Amino acid sequence: MRDSSAIPAGSSFTTVGCWLFVATIAIILCALIMATSASGQQVVPFGDVPATADFSEAEIAARGRQPARDLTYSDWTKMCFKGVQGADTKMICRTTITGKWDTGQVVLRVDLIEREDAPAKRLQIFLPAGFFLQPGIKLSIDKGNSINVPYTICIANGCVAAMVSDPNFVSALELGRTLSLESVNANVVTVISSLPLDNFAKAHRGPPAQVFEQKLEGRWEQPADGAGAK
């Protein structure tokens, strides 16, 4: 005789089977969690990247290096921006290079930004979102000593790393042949990009290719009359 007390009143065999299945899955999950905790293993959320907030330089180096996906680089170009609200407004110029994938998407941009009559210059690097932010970006010129540039802000489509550039660094850019960028991707692998410096000095020291007027109202970055003529 079947013991009816094992089945709640009004339940069908199908309902009981579902409850048994859910209970079995819960027991298995609990057992896995307990086994992981007991063995001291870390949860690995993405691929083989441990779930830790920080990596030492040695740990990052041990995970390897790889060249960046092939990029097509523009020439270095100088563009300037001037205000129209006051006669004492200083011009701001940036000397820029961009890198594109074969799809045409710009995925790298480096700007050297300087304000008229100001001694300090700012170097900014734009990269797409998805890089590991903790180590920042390492720069080197012609395989010289590296400089670390921290990330300063991220938006929906990318992140910016920036630093103040001293005159020695700018001189090295003008005399150098290759600017190397080392960034760390989401898999904590160092990615190396090599940017040409062939025409940096000419672009930086020469007149701007284009001058834009910046207004507080209406559209801005309108080419000034006669600007950009070559």
Indicate whether 34 and 61 sit together in one domain.
Answer: no
Name 143's Cβ contacts closer than 8 Å, sequence gap at least 6.
180
Q: At 173, which helix (H) or strand (E)? A: helix 167-175
Does this model's pTM top 0.85? no
Supply 91's token pair: 């011009």
- Tens of pLDDT, residue by residue over 93-136, are 999 999 999 999 999 999 999 998 888 899 999 998 888 888 88
Find the range with the poorest average confidence among 70-74, 181-185, 220-224: 220-224
Find the range with the poorest average confidence among 11-15, 40-44, 53-57, 202-206: 40-44
- Tens of pLDDT, residue by residue over 160-204, are 999 999 899 999 999 999 999 998 877 778 788 999 999 999 999
Domain count, the chain: 2
Indicate whether 65 and 34 sit together in one domain.
Answer: no
- The CATH code of the domain that includes 191 is 2.60.40.1880
Indicate whether 110 and 71 sit together in one domain.
Answer: yes
Indicate whether 88 and 153 sit together in one domain.
Answer: yes
Give the pairing type, strands 210-214 and 222-223.
Answer: antiparallel
Q: Is the pLDDT of residue 34 over 80?
A: no
Distance between CA atoms of 140 and 181, rounded to whole angstroms?
7
Indicate whether 66 and 104 sit together in one domain.
Answer: yes
Is residue 80, in this structure, part of any structural domain at all? yes
Indicate whether 15 and 128 sit together in one domain.
Answer: no
Phi then psi dihedrals of residue 24, to 5 deg: -65, -45
Distance between CA atoms of 158 and 130, rounded to whole angstroms?
8
Place of tokens 């563009």: 79
Torsion of CA 149, 97, 109, 180, to 10 degrees: -40
Indicate whether 25 and 73 sit together in one domain.
Answer: no
Indicate whether 183 and 218 sit together in one domain.
Answer: yes
Range of the domain at 28: 4-39
Q: Is the pLDDT of residue 9 over 60?
A: no
Per DSSP, which regions of 86-220 are E strands? Answer: 92-100, 106-115, 121-127, 137-141, 147-149, 151-155, 158-165, 178-184, 190-196, 210-214
Distance between CA atoms of 100 and 56, rounded to whole angstroms?
31
The rounded percent of the chain whose pLDDT value lies above 70 is 63
Indicate whether 35 and 61 sit together in one domain.
Answer: no
Indicate whether 29 and 86 sit together in one domain.
Answer: no
Is residue 90, in this structure, part of any structural domain at all? yes
Indicate whether 32 and 112 sit together in one domain.
Answer: no
Q: Is the pLDDT of residue 35 over 60?
A: no
Distance between CA atoms of 28 and 34, rounded to whole angstroms?
10
Q: Is the pLDDT of residue 25 over 90?
A: no
Is residue 193, in this structure, part of any structural domain at all? yes
Indicate whether 148 and 175 sit together in one domain.
Answer: yes
Is residue 68, in this structure, part of any structural domain at all? yes
Q: Are 141 and 179 in contact (CB under 8 A)?
A: yes
Is residue 134, in this structure, part of any structural domain at all? yes
Place of tokens 């670390």: 148
Distance between CA atoms of 2 and 13, rounded to whole angstroms?
13
Q: Is 110 exposed, middle or buried (0-12, 13-18, 19+ CB in 10 A)?
A: buried
